[in-house]
Amino acid sequence: MAGRPSNEARWALSGSILKYYLYKATKAVEFYRPIMYIFFLAQGLSFTQIAILEALYNLTTLFGEIPTGYIGDRVGRRNSLLIGTSLIALTLLGIGLSNSFLPLTGLYVCWSMGYNFRSGSEDAWLYDTLTDDLSEDEFAHVRGRGESVALAVGAGAAVLGGYLGSINLSYPWFVAAGVTSTGIVVLLTFDEPETYKQTNSEVLSLRRTIGIVRDVLTRRQLRAFLLYYYVLYAGITYLVFVFLQPIFETVVLDIGVDQSQVESLLGWFYAAYSIVGAMLSYYTGAIKQTIGLRTWFLVLPFAVGGALVGMYFVPLLALPTFLLIRGISDVTRSFAGQYINDRIETLGRATVLSAMAMVSGLAVVPFQLGSGVVSDVVSPLFALAIGGIVLAVGSGAILLWEDPVGEKLG
């Protein structure tokens, strides 16, 4: 390609991407994820209260995404990531020390704010860094490799987290807080992309930022994609992560596993969960070339919706279904990021990406609250089956209205 940078510039880019992979390895979520909802239930919370916590998280996302994305566009991607990572580390420590619903509500708000600062800025930093090298088409490939690194590290973390949780359910939170803190050190070595430096962020007023977001969201096809992926698909699959642990516990107890082994088995299951995700994420670029973004998004919601309904009738199917949905989640998120990034400008990029997360956070709230009530009244399996029906029917309705992925990526 004409205009490609020198070998020296390419070496610098490679160094930046290696730092990105290292940062992804410090995200530490797999330490606490195997015991997260068991921990909450052990503190005396009901499914409805857990759903309220998740709803608070997403409402904070709703009100915080555009302001934090705006800050990320003004102060720089790296500084925004530093703020977010610091908030998350402190919150994880606080959750491990909590033992009731009320303090957890405040911590969930702080937790969401931390991810608000990271959500748009992380992908914006990566896309702009690749743009420096005229390699923005590699975004899904590089992002997929980054997720693969995080998940591969997470496999060991999940096993350790499960065993730590069998000793004390607070220990995985403390370890996760420490590992997340190392991400701050890594981020201090990051450079801002030249593409970002060359934009005049000083002229980016809040009013202009809102205008940029409004312009993006009023493009019909992007609006259709927003509903199709960020609202329906992301909203329903989010529930899978909420109810995995109680469903897993029910299934393994029904086949004769002793209660004392549940936490450690969850650790091993989450390790398998991470390995499947890591393998698929590693081949994100190859999947894109072989299957294509369009085919992927047209088939996905109906396959996942059918699997969620099927496991209600055969509960043992929940285990491979959870592995499948986890395995494809990061690949799908990378494809969505590629699709949106290819259609927006550098100026305001972090804010637009944050706005997508904001809409998703708002849309998932009724799903969360409704599923929490249904789970308390009937069961989590029934709640996910209803979610599967909503996903398939809703996706079909959007396709009848507008093709959300009509344009193919180059």
Q: Which of 91-100, 163-172, 195-204, 219-228 has the lowest mean pLDDT?
A: 195-204
On the question of pLDDT at 325 being above 50, the answer is: yes
Average confidence (pLDDT) over 138-150:
81
pLDDT score of 185 = 93
| Confidence grade of residue 131 (pLDDT, cut at 50, 70, 90) | confident
Mean pLDDT of the chain: 81
User: What's the CATH architecture for 19-189+205-401?
Assistant: Up-down Bundle (1.20)
Question: Percent of the chain beyond pLDDT 70?
Answer: 82
pLDDT score of 5 = 45
Query: What b/e readout covers 269-308, taking b as 16+ CB neighbours within 10 angstroms?
Result: bbbbbbbbbbebbbbbbebbeeeebbebbbebbbebbebb
On the question of pLDDT at 252 being above 80, the answer is: yes
